[in-house]
């Protein structure tokens, strides 16, 4: 082996070790490990907050068409969120993770049911019922956050 090819061989080895050292980080990413507050669920929840605000705003002026658009987005996001795992469960044992994820899913299904009822109240243009259901949506959100939302350190 001349000096040139030895240098090449050494370079190849060091690139390989660099890749191996970086490997765990890459693997963690590809397995969906995320930081607190930076999960797919966080993004979906932030979107939900916007639509809830839009809904409340539109309901003040009985703008049923705009209310319906926001409610449909809330329904879509609620269904999408049901297949996520709360970040709070990420370092739990498999059994605890499964139990927490199941409870979380039930909480999101309850929200879905409230939103379906909201759609019916809109169809009937029943403002009192809308107001009543919105209170329940707020309570369900509060309950869900108390049980499943981990407070991030930076909060």
Question: Do 87 and 36 contact (CB within 8 A), yes or no?
Answer: yes
State how far the Cα of 27 lies from the Cα of 148, in Å rounded to an integer.
26
Contacting residue, 58, 67, 71, 104, with ligand HEM by CB under 6 A: 104
Please state, as a whole number, how many other Cβ atoms lie within 10 Å of the Cβ of residue 152: 12
Query: Which CB atom, from 46 or from 135, has the smaller least distance to ligand HEM?
Result: 46
Query: What are the residues whose beta carbons fall under 8 Å from the beta carbon of 62, sequence distance 6 or more?
Result: 125, 127
Q: Record the tokens describing residue 70, joined without a space.
A: 């926001």
Residue 141 contacts ligand HEM per CB under 6 A: yes
Contacting residue, 6, 15, 18, 46, with ligand HEM by CB under 6 A: 46
Residue 108 contacts ligand HEM per CB under 6 A: yes
CB 99 to ligand HEM: min, Å: 14
Query: Which CB atom, from 3 or from 153, has the smaller least distance to ligand HEM?
Result: 153
Q: Which of residues 14-43 bind ligand HEM (CB under 6 A)?
A: 37, 39, 41-42
Stretch that binds ligand HEM, among 1-9, 60-68, 85-93, 128-136 (CB under 6 A): 85-93
Binding site for ligand HEM (CB under 6 A): 37, 39, 41-42, 45-46, 48-49, 52, 86-88, 104, 107-108, 111, 137, 140-141, 144-145, 148-149
């Amino acid at each position: 082996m001349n000096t040139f090819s030895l240098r090449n061989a050494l370079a190849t080895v060091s690139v390989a070790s660099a890749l191996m050292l970086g490997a765990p980080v890459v693997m963690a990413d590809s397995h969906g490990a995320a930081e607190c507050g930076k999960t797919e669920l966080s993004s979906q929840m932030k979107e939900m907050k916007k639509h809830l605000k839009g809904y409340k705003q539109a309901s003040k002026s009985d703008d049923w068409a705009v209310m319906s658009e926001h409610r449909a987005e809330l329904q879509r996001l609620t269904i999408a969120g049901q297949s996520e795992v709360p970040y709070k469960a990420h370092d739990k044992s498999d059994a605890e993770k499964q139990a927490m994820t199941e409870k979380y899913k039930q909480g999101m299904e309850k929200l879905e049911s409230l939103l379906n009822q909201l759609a019916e109240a809109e169809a009937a243009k029943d403002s009192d019922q809308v107001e009543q259901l919105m209170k329940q949506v707020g309570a369900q959100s509060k309950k869900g956050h108390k049980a499943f939302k981990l407070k991030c350190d930076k909060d």
